[in-house]
A and B are shown apart, each in its own frame.
Chain A
């Protein structure tokens, strides 16, 4: 009786949520359509059913080819291409915030089904293609015993790694395959709870500052306001002293940071809040203004107040900056990299964005790498699919893209933390002398 009741109510609740339609209205660009918030008794959730790649490969545009250059990694997240072409892969799985509510217990169990069961490597793996044939035959562990490393940046001979609890620095000489010693801590990073644990990282063009993205400690303050001190911010850290200050705030989960070539402008990919409908709130990429407040938790996409937040703060709502370019709700953008002419004329000017894929949506979105074309240094036009097929037509999910990195030699490196693979996408022919980008 009790069991059937439970089932009956579960299905009722599912019906209640299913009533909300999920029109696939294009939700990209500077002015996305924002429906009214909605939430049934149960949040809509579709968890990826993992499947094996076998002989299948992700789909890339005609004229491009994709190959796995490293498999059986331990949760690869972000990569960096070193000056000699070597690739460093950060592997790890952080988080582990305590389960505070019955919901946390149940949701944790459900979400774990859509991720790799492999234990995070807590290491950096170096991949080397010594003869330049596209096969990365060399593979060494560059550093281990890190704490969920994610963001990577190289400034001169200093290799910076953003662990989930600290920014650390290795000495690096070109050609090195293994760190010469343990890292030096630059500064601690906010790590209490670490609901959103990834610490994105990039360096200013002059190498003086490092920017670290620090995600919020909740979806929408359900762990309390005090848990959000120093969260949902981008820190600017002095590379020499480790002194830090908030560079921009209200960015719910800035999962990837990149400096725009030419302008030196900081850009971020940001994951927005869940549980107010399939088409709210769009994840986005934006140029990050110094001192800017981007809304979280009080508001989204400019001055749209989120009524779930108490106490309210109308002044903060009013002060919220609208981001530059919406990617669509729940796509889970985790990678961001500016392109170069070597990627081919169509993909020369713009950014690649890795989309991990949705959980909180009955019609899944994301699960691909897209290209957002730029003109005059600003996003211009609809996104173009670059790598797809991570979610097969059979409903199986074979991969989930995370970090993307443009190799200046003409390749896109894509981390896939479900199949624990690093993919490399290259133009089949050497790209014709590309039309120079209209602006840098």
Chain B
């Protein structure tokens, strides 16, 4: 009798993982747009919006990151796309967190670093999300 476990060759993201991951995208895009608005108008409310959107983005992507890590640990093969997806999301989260500290500088002191970081983080999050949705974990269903 064959003792090999049944393999799920393709296991997509868990729906809740997908919500967390995709949810972070508009939040970080919002950060970018609000920072653009603040830099062109000097209207401080845009910066307030941006700071809170950033917190939201960090919460969503933070839990997505945690989930990605668990998926990665449980996977048989900890390389390739699952690993790359995790690292990309990790980089996005770290830079996003740094950007939260930058946003906490008063008034224009956060500029232009806040805007530059917002662009980088938005790109990384979109890339991580695309990669995340095209990632298939191979491994045993326990």
Contact = CB atoms under 8 A, between A and B. Distances in A.
B52 interface: yes
A311 interface: yes
Given A100-B48, A222-B106, A223-B44, A41 B66 contact: no
A10 to B, nearest CB: 9
B66 A1 contact: yes
Interface string B7-50: 00000000000000000000000000000000000111101100
Interface string A106-143: 00000000000000000000000000000000000000
A308 B42 contact: no
Interface stretch (B75-83, B96-104, B123-131, B132-140): B96-104
A310 B101 contact: no
B65 interface: yes
A39 interface: yes
A125 to B, nearest CB: 37
Interface residues of A, number: 27
B132 to A, nearest CB: 17
A57 to B, nearest CB: 39
Which residue among B104, B106, B108 has the maximum number of chain A CB atoms within 10 Å of its CB? Answer: B106
Contacts of A101: 47-48, 51-52, 103-104
B107 interface: yes
A5 B104 CA distance: 19
A85 to B, nearest CB: 45
Contacts of B105: 39, 275, 308
Given A42-B101, A101-B48, A223-B44, A2 B107 contact: no
B55 interface: yes
A102 B51 contact: yes
B139 to A, nearest CB: 20
A307 B110 CA distance: 11
Contact of A221 (B62, B66, B93, B107): B107
Contact of A5 (B94, B100, B107): B94
Contact of B106 (A13, A219, A225): A219
Interface in B83-126: 93-94, 97-98, 100-109
A311 B39 CA distance: 11
Secondary structure class of chain A's binding surface, majority of residues? loop
Given A1-B66, A221-B44, A224-B45, A310 B108 contact: yes
Secondary structure class of chain B's binding surface, majority of residues? helix
A39 B109 contact: yes
Nearest to B109: A308
Interface string A78-122: 000000000000000000000011110000000000000000000
A102 B104 contact: yes
A309 interface: yes
B6 to A, nearest CB: 30
A310 B107 contact: yes
A235 B98 CA distance: 42
Which residue among B54, B65, B103, B109 has the maximum number of chain A CB atoms within 10 Å of its CB? Answer: B109
A219 to B, nearest CB: 5
Contacts of A309: 107-108
A348 interface: no
A41 B97 CA distance: 11
B48 A2 contact: no
A9 interface: yes
Nearest to B110: A308
A397 interface: no
Nearest to A41: B101
A396 B52 CA distance: 35
B51 A220 contact: no
Interface of B: 42-45, 47-48, 51-52, 54-55, 62, 65-66, 69, 93-94, 97-98, 100-109
12 contacts: A1-B66, A5-B93, A5-B97, A9-B98, A220-B106, A221-B107, A223-B44, A224-B45, A225-B42, A275-B106, A308-B108, A310-B107
Closest 9 CB pairs of A and B: A224-B44, A222-B106, A103-B104, A310-B42, A308-B109, A41-B101, A308-B107, A310-B108, A222-B107
